[in-house]
Structure 1
């Protein structure tokens, strides 16, 4: 039976029960919990350093009012990095390759930033829809365009994360399939494709982290506009 390359993105099912919930719960079990001791081990120190550096870079352009979102952004960043990275392991499932899940992350956070802007500064939030000194004939067109650009933001967030991870997984599967086929036929070419596969795997590890950072960074920029 010939399987499709897209079968790897199907939600795994065991005895008729979807395992997506297990895939979403597992990353939280892998992170060590800081003990009550004064001195932590190297793993905990590295984890704390990573979180502190990330939050420092993320909250730098935000107003003090946006610092209340630090815990939410930090948790979302760590969660997305974990899901993206664990999906690169063999015989695993990457939940963030599902557009529905990514939209479930993007829409509530984007809507929260928009509602916060409408509550705190309604005039400024509505003024973004129509730039100042706009000619009269262009007013209806600009209102439609700016409103569409506002509502397309969560879709862009979800599609960006889904497309980047899906493309990387497909490339890895295509090159690995070519490597297995070329081993008995052309060992030299197979060695080159194996090196390319190794380099692509390293690139995908970087993409898994960068895409999680970009997702949270764009949310912070949306929040900055509404503070």
Structure 2
């Protein structure tokens, strides 16, 4: 039975029960919990250093009201990054290749930033729909354009993450298939393709981390406009 390249993006099931929830929860079990000891191990220290550096960089443009989101943003960053990296392992499933999941993360968080802006500073939040100094004739058109761009923001968040991960997984599968096919026929070409596959895997590891960072960074930028 020949499988399609897109079968890897199907949600795995066990006796008719979807395992996507298990795929979402399992990465969280890999991170150590903080203890009451004065000194932790190297993994805990590395995790604490990464969280502190990331949140410090992320909170610089935000005012004091936006700092309340720090725990949510770092948790989201670690969740997406761990899911993306674990999805690169053989015989695994990457939940973030599903557009429904990414939109499920993007839509409520984006809507929360918009509602925060409308509640705390409604004049400023609505003022983003109309730039200062706009000619009178262009006011209706600009309001429509800015409103459309506002509602496209969560769609852009979800589609960007889905497209980058899906394209990377397809490239890796295509290159690995080429290596297996060319190995008995043209060993030299197969070795060259294997080197390209290794470099592509390193690139996908970087993409998995960068896309998680970009997702949270864009969310913080949306928050910056509303706090």
**Is 1:93 equivalent to 2:81 in the alignment?**
no
Matches within 5 A, 1:41-120: 41-120=41-120
Number of equivalences:
227
Displacement of 1:139 in angstroms is 1.6
Find the aligned partners of 2:182 and 2:70 in 1 and give their Cα distance: 50
Residue number in structure 1 paired with 2:221 = 221
Find the aligned partners of 1:70 and 1:64 in 2 and give their Cα distance: 11
Residue number in structure 2 paired with 1:190 = 190
- Deviations 1:43-99 (Å, cap 9, x if unpaired)? 111111111111111111111111111000010000001110010000000000000
Structure 1 runs (4+) greater than 4 angstroms displaced: none
- Deviations 1:101-136 (Å, cap 9, x if unpaired)? 000100011000000110111111111111222222
Deviates more, 1:180-189 or 1:28-37: 28-37
Residue number in structure 2 paired with 1:153 = 153
* Structure 2 gaps, min length 5: none
Residue number in structure 1 paired with 2:139 = 139
Residue number in structure 2 paired with 1:212 = 212
Residue aligned with 2:8, SS: helix
- Deviations 1:188-217 (Å, cap 9, x if unpaired)? 010011111111111111111100000000
Q: TM-score, normalised by structure 1?
A: 0.98
Residue aligned with 1:29, SS: helix
Find the aligned partners of 1:68 and 1:136 in 2 and give their Cα distance: 39
Residue aligned with 1:185, SS: coil
- Deviations 1:14-41 (Å, cap 9, x if unpaired)? 1000000110110111111122211111
